[in-house]
Copies of this chain bind each other. A is one copy, B any other.
Amino acid sequence: MRADARDNRARIMTAADEVFGRSPGASTDDVAKLAGVGIATVFRHFPTKTDLLEAVLTQRLEKLRDRAIELADSDDAGEAFFGFFTQVVSESASKLAIAEALTAAGSAAGADARNAGSGLRESFDALLSRAQRTGAVRSDAGFPEVYALLIGASRGATATGLEPEVRDRMLGLIYDGLRPKA
Could you list which residues of chain A lie within 8 angstroms of chain B, going by C-beta atoms?
141-142, 144-149, 151-157, 159-160, 162-163, 166-167, 169-170, 172-178, 181-182
Contact = CB atoms under 8 A, between A and B. Distances in A.
B166 A156 contact: no
**A-side interface mostly:** helix
A137 B117 CA distance: 36
Nearest to A178: B173
Given A148-B156, A151-B159, A154-B156, 16 more contacts: A141-B169, A141-B173, A142-B169, A144-B166, A144-B169, A149-B173, A151-B156, A152-B156, A152-B159, A155-B159, A156-B156, A174-B174, A174-B177, A177-B177, A177-B178, A181-B182
